[in-house]
Amino acid sequence: MKILIVDDREEDRVLMRYALERQGWRITEAADGAEALALLRLDPPDLVISDALMPKMDGFGLLRAMKQEPGLAGIPFIFYTATYNEQNEYELAMSLGAAALLAKPLPPDELARRVVAIVANFPKPGGGPGAALVSESERLLERYSTMVATKLEEKVRELELAKETWEKTFNALRDVVTVQDKEMRILRANQAAACCAGQEAGALIGRTCHEVFRGNSEPCPDCPLRLTVQDGQSHSGVITNGSTDKTFHVTSTPVLDQVGQVEYLIHVARDITEERRMEEELRQAHKMEAIGTLAGGIAHDFNNILAAILGYAELAQHKLLAGQDPDDYLKEVITAGLRAKELVRQILTFSRKGGQTVGPMTPYPLVKEALKFLRSSLPSTVVIKEDIDPQSGALMADPTKLHQVVVNLCTNAFQAMVEEKGVLSISLKRREWRELDTALRAMLAAGPYMELVVRDDGEGIRPEDLPHIFEPYFTTKETGKGTGLGLAVAHGIVYEMGGMIRVESEPGQGAAFLVYLPALPLKEENAGAPFTAQARLLPGTERVLVVDDDPALTAMLGGMLERLGYRVAAFNASDQALAAFTQAPDNFDLLISDQTMPQITGAELVQAIHRLRPDLPVIICTGFSAVLSEGRAKELGISRYLQKPVGLQELTRAMREALEEKGRAQG
């Protein structure tokens, strides 16, 4: 038997072909009534199975046309539709001469069984169209027109309802959602997008997203939309709007056409400003917790340093009174002072909030430094074993955050030890992606990685606790021994850097935290040995203005510089120094100033002096400033930014460099 299938939906035709060809029947297809009528006239089939609602000519129009042509009127016609399946529609179909009306969808076997039964009971074809059908054509046409109009009205109502529901849903979304073309012009924007832009939604249409939301003529450098246009894949990223100081997680998803090309883009931006603020507060809170944990060890280390300074200073004094050379003892005083300086620098690095930038860095010295910092706080009953590969390479990271990860994981490992005794093992190695096991490779992008492992031989982690260890405030420790923030903070930092943390643990067997961070490609050549300053002081004859509110520091610095040949004017009050400079601005070649001072700060003093002498070199020496960073100092035209305590060798080198730079600029 030969069957003609008529349906405007290709997927429906495929399903019917599958069901009917299994019975051994030959199948031809048409996408609408007009195409089907042309095929019928060329090669009439034994049966027609047609949808009802189709473009150009629908099923009812096709059946009426067939019944009016003698060569086609006797071919059995079956409606197979999901649209027309009510009683009046069934009656109209039968009145027009249909053999049956079947409701979609039917299982393939059931469809074939029904077709067999209908064809078997259908009367043999006669001559032309029936007299009754011809005489009633006008009445049937009227019923058909009414039915089609009713069905169209229902469809219009359904479309309007669907459109209204879609628009309400679209505008109810709290995320900023826009539909954009391939040139990033906005085709549609929801209410959240309009609120974010401070305009009506209609005013955004036809404009680019970077113009609307950032006031830029060019797309953002890190815009996911640009990547989606290029490769047709979904992309996401984090973008900060400088004008509103808000941070968004942006996702770009393509909508493809029939040939797989990008037709338009869905752009979703979720405001994560508050989340980022809370994450930063969480990290800062844990820093304070960790500082509290380490305070005892830091105090112990400082007391040792102070004991060395005081002891050797007394010994030097006794030698001086005895007329002997105290040089050996003074060297020990300087060594102890440098240890104190390094410890202060580590504490400031660890506790600093923000101010750091992500960039290429070598983690090897940072991990070594963190372990020195920890060693002073851990009891001697804890053995620290290191396996830190100096050739592990570099990665993109914020040094402060990476330092925090190391300290958090090591502190957590120590707290898991029974009676504060055990072995804490830390290793840092470079690992290639192909060297990792299958489970890890499935979670990481291909490329080199830095593997940091922190292992302890403590109590281990219970299986029921493992799924929760990275949750904020989850802790198995006793009250007062931790807030449960350490691992959550470390987890957040690692994933922000594009890495992951893996945990291996069994109760009573200790635990290992394995951190994998994307590494940078190894350089073919080493950068060379680190720069080492020459162990000598650099004299000069220039006129130097020294300003510091600490009289002891001012006297010490002035005396040192005068011994090297410099002519020094020293002041303990910044307003007095400014008055002296204002009276004779050409009497000075260099300014050395503290930052934190009463009346006028160092930065304010520099600005006032540069209004009189813009070319005057300036060196700022500060113990710590939350206001004046090194970057801000450069913006103010400050030549060098030094952290106290400053050694005379470091200071004189900075002085000569600043003065020589001025000379080159004037030459």
B/e letters for 442-464, b = 16+ CB within 10 Å, e = fewer, are: eebeeebbbbbbbbbbbbbbeee
**Whether residues 288 and 341 fall in one domain:** yes
Structure-token pair, residue 430: 């470079």
Q: How far is CA 356 from CA 295, 350, 472, 645, in A?
A: 24, 11, 24, 22
User: Can you give the CATH number for the domain in which 37 is found?
Assistant: 3.40.50.2300
**Whether residues 253 and 295 fall in one domain:** no
Domain count along the chain: 4
**Whether residues 89 and 114 fall in one domain:** yes
- Within the chain, which residues score under 50 in pLDDT? 126-135, 353-355, 479-483, 524-535
Residue 159 domain flag: no
Instruction: Say what the pLDDT of residue 50 is.
Output: 92
Residue 168 domain flag: no
Instruction: Say what the pLDDT of residue 349 is.
Output: 55
**Final residue before a domain boundary, out of 271, 298, 331:** 271
Instruction: Say what the pLDDT of residue 576 is.
Output: 94
**Final residue before a domain boundary, out of 501, 518, 535:** 518
**Whether residues 645 and 603 fall in one domain:** yes
**Whether residues 196 and 114 fall in one domain:** no
Instruction: Say what the pLDDT of residue 434 is.
Output: 84
Residue 418 domain flag: yes
Task: Name the residue range of residue 10's domain.
Answer: 2-152
**Whether residues 323 and 228 fall in one domain:** no
**Whether residues 133 and 199 fall in one domain:** no
**Whether residues 366 and 476 fall in one domain:** yes
Instruction: Say what the pLDDT of residue 361 is.
Output: 83
**Whether residues 206 and 235 fall in one domain:** yes
- Give 3-state DSSP helix, strand, coil % of the chain, rounded to 5: 45, 20, 35
Structure-token pair, residue 407: 């300290």
Residue 349 domain flag: yes
B/e letters for 593-630, b = 16+ CB within 10 Å, e = fewer, are: bbbbbeebbbbebbebbbeeeeebbbbbbbeebeebee
Residue 531 domain flag: no
User: Can you give the CATH number for the domain in which 230 is found?
Assistant: 3.30.450.20
**Whether residues 224 and 141 fall in one domain:** no
The structure's pTM equals: 0.38
Residue 167 domain flag: no
Instruction: Say what the pLDDT of residue 482 is.
Output: 47
CB–CB of 97/67 below 8 Å? yes
